[in-house]
Amino acid sequence: MGSRANGAICRTDLRTGEGAVLHEGGTGLAYIGLKLDDDGLLYVAWRREDHRLAHR
């Protein structure tokens, strides 16, 4: 899950409810798109103070 409030990214097992923080985020940072590919790579689209970038 990605946070649009501070850019944190969390990994959660929906069966058990257990999870972990993958990235703590920061002020002015927002993750607006997440995609997991078939190889397990997480693609992240983020926004920071009017800048946008897709990062792998």
Instruction: Tell me the per-residue pLDDT of 29-48, one tens digit each, with 9 for 90 and over.
Output: 877 788 889 998 888 887 77
pLDDT band at 17 (very low <50, low <70, confident <90, very high): very high
Cβ partners under 8 Å of residue 50, min gap 6: none
pLDDT for 3 equals 66
In this prediction, residue 47 carries a pLDDT of 75
Q: What pTM, to 2 d.p., does this model score?
A: 0.61
pLDDT for the residue 2: 67
d(CA 56, CA 4): 18
Task: Return the DSSP state at 2.
Answer: B
| Confidence (pLDDT) at 48 | 72
